[in-house]
Chains A and B, each alone.
Chain A
C-alpha cells in the first residue's frame, strides 16, 4: 500500500528512470560515472576501435573487390590468400568478420535514413544496372539470368551498398574510439561525461561527411552511391545503425526460443528490441549466439589495465567474454547518450524553461524506450 506522505510513490524502476532523466539533464550519461565504469568503457572502446578497424577494412574490401562475386569463398582474406593464412583461418586464429556482416544485415533489413530510400530510387536502379552490365560483359549465361530475374543482382548491389556504408561509418567510429583511448592515456578523459563529450564532438564533426560508393570494373569506375544522392554520415548511417543494431536487431537462436506463430515476436519491425542494449550477456560463449563473435574478437586487443581488472574477478579469465559484453554494453550506452544528446531539440545546457521542458519530454521518451534494456541492471553493476 502506498503511504500517504504527500509524495508520488513510483515503482523502483520508474524512480530509477526518473533519476536517469535528471542525470542526463544535468550533463550526465545513461551510465553512472564511476572509476571502474570509466576504465571499462575506455578500455573496451580501445579494443572495439581495433576490431572495428579490422571489420571496416574487410567490409570495404568486399564492397570494392567482391562486387557481384556470387561465391566469395575468400572474402574474409582481404585479397591475401596464402596457405598459412588459410590454416590460421581454419584454426580459427582470425577476426570473426561474420559479425560485421551480421550488423550489416541488421541495417539492411531494418532500413531507415535516406540510404534505404535511395536504394529504392530509379536513379539507383540505373546506376546499378550500368555496373551490372559492365560486370557481366562477356558472360551471356549471367546476362540471361539477369534478364530472367532482374531483381536478383540488383538486390546484391543493394547489399554491397550497405557493406560500403557500414564500412565508412565504422571508419569514423574506429578512429574516434582509438583517439578516445589516446586521450585517456594522456589523462584528458577523467569521467564518463568526458567520454560522452568526446563521442558527441566526433559525431558532430563527422555529421555531414558524405557517404559515397564506387566500384571499379575493368578500367572504368561506376557510381553506386554518388555524392549527388546527398547521403551523410550522421543521419544516413549513424542513426540507422543505432536503431538497427543497438535497439532492434533480430531474434537469434540462443537460450531463448522465440515462437513467431504465437506472436512472441512482434509483427511490427519497429517494435523489435533484440539489439545490443537489450542483449543478455550470460549466454555469450554458447553456440549460435552472435555477440560471442564480437566479444571473442575484442579479447585480442584488451588494454592491460582492463585485462587486469577482469583478472581480479571471481572467475578470472574464464568468463572474459561475458565481462567484455557487459563492458561493451556500458560503452554502447555512452555512445547512445551522445546520439541522444546530439539529436536533442535544444542544447542540454539551455536555461530557457520551455526548451528545458521540451528536452525533458524528449529525454523521457528515450529513457522510457530503454526501460526494458540492460540500462537498469547496469546502474548498479
Chain B
C-alpha cells in the first residue's frame, strides 16, 4: 500500500509526459490533480488502518534490489513519518490546484510536480538509508527545474544556488551513511541494522556532524540558509508552498530519523550546542524578517526562524519536545503554505510584493478582503495565537524544551514575539489604511483561487482547536524514538552535579 504513494505519481508522471501536446494545459492539470487526489485517498486509507499505539514501522514492504550494494526496496511508516506523508499529498494537491491554468510547457510542469511528490514520499517511507538518499537526491531535479523554468526574473541564479547548496547537503549525508556502513562493517544499508551501531563516541560525533550540516542546509539553519530566500522569491507560488511546506521538512525529518535515531550518544553530547544553534537560527531569521520589504522574503525568513524551533525541540529530545517538534513540522507546513499562497495571491492581483508600495488591501469592495482576512489569520497562527495549530505546536516545543535548556528556550520564545512584530508590520502596511492609488483597480479574485488558502486556514484552525487529532499519530513513535537513551535533562543535571562536586573538591 505504501508503494502506491510512490508509484501512483511516478507512473502518472510518465502518463502526463505521453499526453499529446495538442490537448492543451487542462488535461495534464486534471490528470495530475486526479492522481494526487488518489494519493490523498490512499493516505486516508492508511490513516484508517494505521495503529497509533505501535511504535514500530507499519505497512512495511521489502524487495531485494541491488543486494551487493546493500540497497533494497524497503518501505515503512511510523508516527514520525505519517503526518509528513499526508501533508505531502495534501500540499501537492493544493499546489497543483493553485498552479497557473495557462502555464507554459504544461506537460513538463505537471510531470515534474508528480515526480517531486513521488520522491518526497519515497524519502519519508524509505527504511534503507541508501534508498532514502536516492529519493532525497531525485527530489532536487524536479525542484531545480521548477524554479529554473517557471521562476521569476532571477530564476537561473536562485535555482543554481539551490542546486549547489542541496547537492553539498546530499554529499555530506552520503558521506555520513557510507562512513557508518564502512566503519561498522555492515553489508546492508538497512536502517534497522545500522541503528544498532556501537561506534566510538568520537566517530559518532564526526558522522553526526556531517548529517547536521547536510540536513542543516536543507532545513535550513543559519548560516546555511542563504539559498532559501532566493529560491522562495524566484519560485512560483505553488513551488514555494511545497518548498516551505514539505521539502524543508525532509531536513528535520532526516535529522531526527538518522541523526537522533542512529547516533543518540553523540546527539546527547552535542545537544547544548544544537539548542544554541537553534537560538541563533530563530533570532537571526526573525530579526532579518523584520527588515524585509518583499513580503515573500519576509515569509521565507520567517520559515528559517520557525524551523529553528524544531531544532530546539530535537536538541531537548524529551518525549514532549519531540511531539512538539513533529507538531511544529506540520504546523509550519500548513501555516507557511497558507502565507505563501496568500502572498502569491496578492502578487498575482497587484503585481507587487513591496510592503512599502501596497496599502489598504483589506478594502471590502476594491481590495482583496478575503485574502487579507486569511492573511490576518495566518499571521495570528504563525505568531502562536491560541486556537490555531501554531500555538499548540510552539507551546509543546517550549514546554518540552524548557526543563532541559531553559535559557535557549526563553531566547527562542523571543522569536515567537518577533513573529508577531514582523507579520503585524506586514498586515498593517499592506492591508490596513486607505487603498493605495496604484492598486485601485484590481481584478477580481474568484472562489476557485481562494479555495486552497481557505482549505489550509480550515486545517490551521481545526488542528488548533483539536490538536489531539494531530498528536495521536505521533506520540508513541516520538516517545519511543527518545526512550532508549537517558534524557538530556538527566545527563545535563548529572554533568552539572559532577562539575559542582569537582569545584567543591578543589575548594580548600
Contact = CB atoms under 8 A, between A and B. Distances in A.
Contact of A280 (B433, B434, B443): B434
Contact of A255 (B365, B433, B440, B444): B433
27 contacts: A255-B360, A255-B433, A255-B434, A256-B434, A282-B363, A282-B365, A282-B366, A282-B434, A282-B435, A282-B440, A283-B363, A283-B434, A285-B364, A285-B365, A286-B363, A286-B364, A314-B441, A314-B442, A314-B443, A314-B444, A315-B366, A315-B441, A315-B442, A315-B443, A316-B444, A318-B366, A319-B366
B442 A322 contact: no
Contacts of A200: none
Is chain A's interface secondary structure helix, strand, loop, or mixed overall? loop
B383 to A, nearest CB: 24
A338 B91 CA distance: 61
Contacts of A316: 444
A283 B360 CA distance: 10
A293 to B, nearest CB: 14
A314 B350 CA distance: 13
A119 interface: no
Contacts of B443: 314-315
Contacts of A245: none
A284 B433 contact: no
A321 interface: yes
Contacts of B364: 285-286
B82 to A, nearest CB: 42
Interface in A140-199: none
A241 to B, nearest CB: 27
B192 to A, nearest CB: 58
B444 A284 contact: no
A285 B442 contact: no
Nearest to B432: A255
Contact of B365 (A256, A280, A322): A322
Nearest to B436: A282
Contacts of A280: 434
B444 A318 contact: yes
Nearest to A323: B365
Given A255-B433, A255-B434, A256-B434, A285 B444 contact: no
Given A314-B443, A315-B442, A318-B444, A285 B363 contact: yes
A315 B441 CA distance: 8
B444 A315 contact: yes
Contacts of A314: 441-444
Given A285-B363, A316-B444, A322-B366, 16 more contacts: A255-B360, A256-B434, A282-B363, A282-B365, A282-B366, A282-B435, A285-B364, A285-B365, A314-B441, A315-B366, A315-B442, A315-B444, A318-B444, A320-B365, A321-B365, A322-B365
Interface in B354-413: 360, 363-366
Contacts of B365: 282, 284-285, 315, 318-322
